[in-house]
Chains A and B, each alone.
Chain A
C-alpha cells in the first residue's frame, strides 16, 4: 500500500469537507442555546426536549414512518417480481421495451411523476391522504428495488433453480425455497433503499398528500419557509444519526459475514 501523498491528503480533505461541513454546522447549531440560528450562545439540548412536545412534528413523523414501511414493502414485492420476470423470461416480443419502461421512472423528473399521479388520483376520485402517498411512493421506488434485485439475479446460478425442479419442486416452490432465500440480501437492501427514498421524498409527497396527512419532509420544508428554527436542526440531527447508525451497522454486519465465510472456506480446504 502506498503512503498518502500530500496531493491525496488535500483532495481527500477537500472532498470530505465539501460533503460534510454543511451537516456538521447543522449538528452543531442543534445544540445551540440561542433561538437565533446564526448566533452561538452556549451548549444546550433544550431543542431536543421541545421537539418531543411538538405534536405536529411527531404526527408528521408517524405518517412518514407508516408511508415508508408500507410503500417500501409493496415496492419490494412488485420490484422483485418484475426483476425476476425480466431476467428469467428469456426473449419475448417487446422485452427491451418492457425492461426499459421499468427503469424509466429512475430518470423521470419527480415533478412530472408527482403531477401525473395527482391527476390520476383526482381522476379516479381518490381522496389524498396516507393511501395516495403510499401508492405514489410504491410507484417510483419499485424501479429502484427492481434494479437492485435484477443485478443480483443476473449473477444467480440458474442451475440452483433447475436442481430444485429436478428434486421435485414446482416453479413456485423453487422460488420460495431456493431463489428467495439466496437473493434475500439483495431484496432486503432493495427494501432499505425504497424505505430511505420514501423517508426523504418531498416533491412527490407534496403532490399526493392531502390535508389529513403530512410527511416530515413537507413539514420541515414548510417550517423552514417561515424561518429556520433550532428545533428543525435538532430534528435533522436525529435523522442524520439514525441514518448513520443504520448504514454503519449494515456495512459492519455484511463485512463480518464475508470475513467469516472466507475463513470457513479456507478452513474447509485445509481440512480436506
Chain B
C-alpha cells in the first residue's frame, strides 16, 4: 500500500472521530457489548460485521442515542455523548426498514430534519434539491413512499439521513431489503456518495461480501466483542483467529501440532502416516503447540497428475463438485477422512475437464498460502 492511501488508523497523530472506551452494555443479565474499546476515524467507511445477536446493532443504537452504555464512555469528536439526546446529536441514522414517513412525500421526507432546524425556506429548498440530485430522485419528489420502488425508497432514506450533513452517518443493514443485483449496484453508489460528501459512515451488516466491498475497515464481532479490526484484504488474508477465518469467506482448517523448522517456518504434523505440512508464520509457535492451518480454497491447486516441487502435497478423491459457472469448488476427501476444498477457475469448457467425481487427484499449496492460527 502506498503512503498516500487513506489509512488514518495507522497514523499515531490522527485523532479519532468516535472513541468507544471500555463500553459495556447489559440488558438485564444479557451482555450485549462486553468491555469494548475502538477508534473510528473521520471519513472512514467502517463496517460492523457479525452474526445476529453479536451486538453490532446495539453499538449503532448507542451512537444514535437510543441506548446508553451501562459502563464506559463514547466520545464523538472528543466529547462524551452520553448526556446528549438523539435529537441533539450530529449523528443521523438510516434505518433497516428505512422508516420513511408514509404520510409525507419524498420531498417532505428529505426536508423533515431541515425543518426541525428552523432553516430558512430557500435554504431548505436548495438542500433538498441537492439531495434529490445526489440520489437521482428528482423525478420522484412529489411521490409518497408507497408510490416508489424498494430501491428508490432506499435512496430516499439515504437522502433524508444525509440532508442534515451529519458528522456521522449510521447505516443499519441498509441493503438488506434489496435483491442481489440491485444490492451490488447500490453498494457502489453508497461508496460514491460517501466519497462525495466526505461523511463518516458506520455500517452494520451480516453480509460479509457487502462489508468487504464498501468498507475501509471491517470489525468482525462476536458475543459483544470485537474479534478483529482490519482492512478487508487483511481480514481475508491474515485473519487473527479461526472464528474470523471461518466467518469471512470459505476456508479449510487443518488442526495439528507445530514444530519450529527454521526462521518463521514450521512443520505441522496433522494426521498419522501423512508427511507434515509446511507453513510460514511471523507469529511464534512453540514446539508441540496446538495450531490450525487456515487455507483459502482458491489457494489450493488441484491436479490430475502429481506435480513436482511443491511445498505441500496431498492426495485424495473428489467427493463433490460445486459448479458456479466461472469457478468450481471441489470437495476432496483425503485418506484420513478430512475434506479439503479446492477452487479452480473454469478456464476450459467443462467437457474438457480432466477429472470428475470419484477421481483421484493431487492437491498442493505453498508454505505461505495458509495462515497459522493458535485458536
Contacts and interface: CB of A to CB of B under 8 A. Distances in A.
B356 interface: no
Given A168-B87, A168-B116, A163 B99 contact: yes
Nearest to A269: B149
B87 A268 contact: no
Contacts of B85: 165
A160 interface: yes
B97 A157 contact: yes
Contact of B66 (A162, A164, A272): A162
Interface stretch (A58-66, A101-109, A229-237, A259-267): A259-267
Contacts of A162: 64, 66, 86, 93, 95, 99
A50 interface: no
A202 interface: no
B73 interface: no
Contact of B146 (A164, A167, A265): A265
Nearest to A157: B97
A267 B147 contact: yes
Contacts of B112: 164, 167, 177
B68 interface: no
Contact of B149 (A163, A164, A167, A271): A271
Interface string A162-196: 11111111100100011001100000000000000
B91 to A, nearest CB: 8
A177 B113 CA distance: 12
Interface string B145-177: 011111110000000110010000000000000
Interface string B68-105: 00000000000000000111100111011101011100
Contact of B117 (A163, A168, A170, A177): A168
A160 B102 CA distance: 9
Nearest to A163: B99
B150 A272 contact: yes
B97 A261 contact: no
Contacts of B147: 264-265, 267-268
B87 A165 contact: yes
A167 B160 contact: yes
Interface residues of B, number: 33
Contacts, number: 79
B103 A268 contact: no
Contact of A163 (B88, B93, B151): B93
Contacts of A169: 87, 116
Interface in A218-272: 261, 264-265, 267-269, 271-272
A264 B99 contact: no
A77 to B, nearest CB: 20
Nearest to B160: A167
Contacts of B99: 157, 159-160, 162-163
Contacts of A178: 101
A227 B91 CA distance: 73
Central interface residue in B64, B103, B151, by most chain A CB within 10 Å: B103
B93 A166 contact: yes
A163 to B, nearest CB: 4
B116 A163 contact: no
A141 B112 CA distance: 36
A248 B97 CA distance: 35
Contacts of A159: 95-97, 99
B117 to A, nearest CB: 6
A168 B101 contact: no
Given A167-B164, A268-B146, A182 B116 contact: no
Contact of A168 (B95, B148, B164): B164
A159 B93 CA distance: 10
Nearest to B172: A159
B87 to A, nearest CB: 5
Nearest to B149: A272
A269 B112 CA distance: 25
Contacts of B101: 160, 163-164, 178, 182
B146 A264 contact: yes
Interface in A131-176: 157, 159-160, 162-170, 173
Contacts of A164: 101, 112
A182 B144 CA distance: 13
A167 B151 contact: no
Given A162-B66, A168-B113, A178-B101, A261 B86 contact: no
A261 B148 CA distance: 11
A14 B95 CA distance: 53
Contacts of A265: 146-147
B148 A170 contact: no
A58 to B, nearest CB: 41
A67 to B, nearest CB: 32
Contacts of B161: 166-167
A272 B151 contact: yes
A173 B149 contact: no
Interface in B295-313: none
B150 A167 contact: no
Central interface residue in A167, A168, A182, by most chain B CB within 10 Å: A167
A113 to B, nearest CB: 37
B341 to A, nearest CB: 38
A90 B88 CA distance: 23
22 contacts: A157-B97, A162-B64, A162-B66, A163-B101, A165-B66, A165-B86, A166-B65, A166-B87, A166-B92, A166-B161, A167-B112, A167-B116, A167-B164, A168-B164, A182-B103, A268-B148, A268-B149, A269-B149, A269-B150, A272-B148, A272-B149, A272-B150
Given A163-B101, A166-B65, A181-B103, 13 more contacts: A157-B97, A160-B101, A163-B95, A165-B86, A166-B91, A167-B112, A167-B160, A168-B88, A168-B116, A177-B112, A182-B102, A264-B147, A265-B147
The 5 tightest CB contacts between A and B, nearest first, are: A272-B149, A167-B113, A168-B116, A163-B99, A159-B99
